[in-house]
Amino acid sequence: MTEDISVIMSVYNEKISEVSESIESILDQSIMPTEFLIVLDNPKNIKLKEYLESMQTNNSIIELIINKTNIGLAASLNKGIKLSKCSLIARMDADDISMKDRFKEELEVMRTQNADIVSTNCVYIDEESKVIGKKKAIPTKSKDIAKILPIGSSIVHPSVLIKKSVFNECGVYRDFYTAEDYDLWLRCLSKNKKIISINKSLLKYRIRAQSMTQSNYFLVFLTANYQRKLYKERTKNRDNQDSFSKESYEHYLRNAGYYSSVKKKSFSKKLDEFNQAVKSLKEKRFRSAAQSLCKSISSIDMVRYVTYFIRYQILVLGIRR
């Protein structure tokens, strides 16, 4: 059975074995998409290019789009969305794996609950595709997700099924260095779009041993703060507009110290202390947790980080109960 779904995937430098698992998991869906748009954002990767070309030749629903140069994830996804022909867009990452009934269950929820966006829970896999953990229970109701989103996101981006009309109304991915999906969800919230999640692991999400560096953690933190600022602007403006521009984003990062190696190292060190505090707390080593926490919140950035973390955890815990 085929449904009116366009799957959008951007590929850069992933291993062919990982991309193969990802593609096959889409081709093996119990409900098939109409088209599968794969955007290759690294035309210099000849082996990957040849593999994807062979997959396109052997599968009628696959359409390969090759960027002339590297344009980044957000722009590549936007290109796929623009070229898509279906009323529904399914996201997929090139190194993740969709469960067989992912689309079937997402479609059922979207139709029965009249949702604009549906996401799912996930399990975590390593670089050998072995399951190494499971994401905690996520909020499922639209009102709960809407309550949490201004604090943090529980939405698993590569699991999302979204109406194409949402992009037409809310806009596509904007040009951030990271967390472009969080900005999109906040803009959807500003437009009162209905977001539902399925608390079932319908995606295998790959975790890499060295997936995040000192610079990455600080960048995600600052970018999310900037995106929250834009959300607050929209709530105050009758026209629902914000002041986003690449220049203002860069200005924000500069003023926040992103380009200072000292601030990056300091943030990373304090974040390690906070993570140790959380670990000690789980192990009921309360004195050690208190010591690590005190060391971690010795900067305004970490005070803000810890505040958002605690607020998010309290909201999610309250919903679970």
Instruction: Write the pLDDT tens digit of every residue in 172-193.
Output: 999 999 999 999 999 999 999 9
Banded model confidence at residue 209, pLDDT cuts 50, 70, 90: confident
Report the 3 state secondary structure along 36-102.
EEEEECCCCCHHHHHHHHHHHHHCCCEEEEECCCCCCHHHHHHHHHHHCCCCEEEECCCCCEECCCH
Banded model confidence at residue 113, pLDDT cuts 50, 70, 90: very high
Banded model confidence at residue 321, pLDDT cuts 50, 70, 90: low
Residue with tokens 């590569």: 158
Q: How far apart are CA 260 and CA 171, in angstroms?
A: 32
Same domain, 70 and 110: yes
Cβ contact 185:152 at 8 Å: no
Out of 206, 231, 260, a domain closes at 206
C-alpha radius of gyration, the chain, whole number: 20
Same domain, 176 and 234: no
Domain of residue 176, residue span: 2-206
* Residue 317: per-residue pLDDT: 85
* Residue 224: per-residue pLDDT: 98
Banded model confidence at residue 319, pLDDT cuts 50, 70, 90: confident
Residues in the chain: 321
Same domain, 263 and 247: yes
Banded model confidence at residue 84, pLDDT cuts 50, 70, 90: very high
Q: What is the pLDDT of residues 39-57, one digit of tens each?
A: 999 999 999 999 999 999 9
> pLDDT above 70 covers what percent of the chain?
98
Out of 206, 222, 250, a domain closes at 206
* Residue 175: per-residue pLDDT: 95
Overall domain count for the chain: 2
Please give the mean pLDDT across all residues of the chain.
95
Out of 206, 227, 262, a domain closes at 206
* Residue 292: per-residue pLDDT: 95
Total-model pTM: 0.95
Token duo for residue 39: 């955007």
Same domain, 161 and 82: yes
* Residue 215: per-residue pLDDT: 60
